[in-house]
Amino acid sequence: MVSFSSLVVALVGIASSWAAPLEESPNANITERGPSNFVLGGHNAVRRAAINYNQDYTTGGDVVYTHSNTGFAVNWSYPNDFVVGVGWNPGGSAPINFSGNFGVGSGVGLLSVYGWSTNPLVEYYVVEDNFGFSSGGTVKGSVTSDGSSYTIWENTRVNEPSIVGTATFNQYISIRNSKRSSGTVTVANHFNAWKSLGMNLGTMNYQVIAVEGWGGQGGVQQTVSN
């Protein structure tokens, strides 16, 4: 997210990405969202042959997170911003399958394809399910994919946590209008839609199915595959 990094002062703050938070981090000493993450296994020459990346970013509060090479589970109670999930490094445009539940009863929560690119530095989200935030930022357009329309937002984060430390960067956010906790995300459709709107990505960094949240209580369990 690196800044629930982060939809968000855009999504909640202008009231955001996925890990700089969508909301301003409550811990001013945290300047990076990424270097402490670790790879689950060696990089595979075949795209998405196996999950090889774990995202585990928390800034305080009660967050219990477990993961494997097939998915993850997380439960939380009144935490500060966190972004957790599993996926690939580097990311790409291939479809991603996810299956499970999204149980958020209070606070703010997002279930997304979440990732970063460099040159330009961009934090991006394809939000499949969410709870508790009001849309904000700049609406750029829409795209229809995987049985639903998505509203496309762009937001600029200034001096916020990122995968390269404190930085200024753009967020690209597709928000699904028909929420779901299981399905296939045709990632290329979003990348292409963003590009058509002048929202260009750079070199792919990590890409995960992630849960981001802050405040409130919730629990999510997801199986992730190519």
32 noted as active-site residue? no
123 noted as active-site residue? yes
Which long-range contacts link 48-52 to residues 24+ away (Cβ below 8 Å)? 48/88, 48/92, 48/94, 48/96, 48/226, 49/226, 51/86, 51/87, 51/88, 51/224, 51/225, 52/88, 52/89
Spot the catalytic one: 23, 24, 32, 123.
123
Cα dist from 127 to 11, 25, 45, 47, whole Å: 11, 20, 28, 22
Ordered alpha helix ranges (H), the chain:
7-8, 187-196
Spot the catalytic one: 23, 24, 154, 212.
212
Active site residues: 123, 212
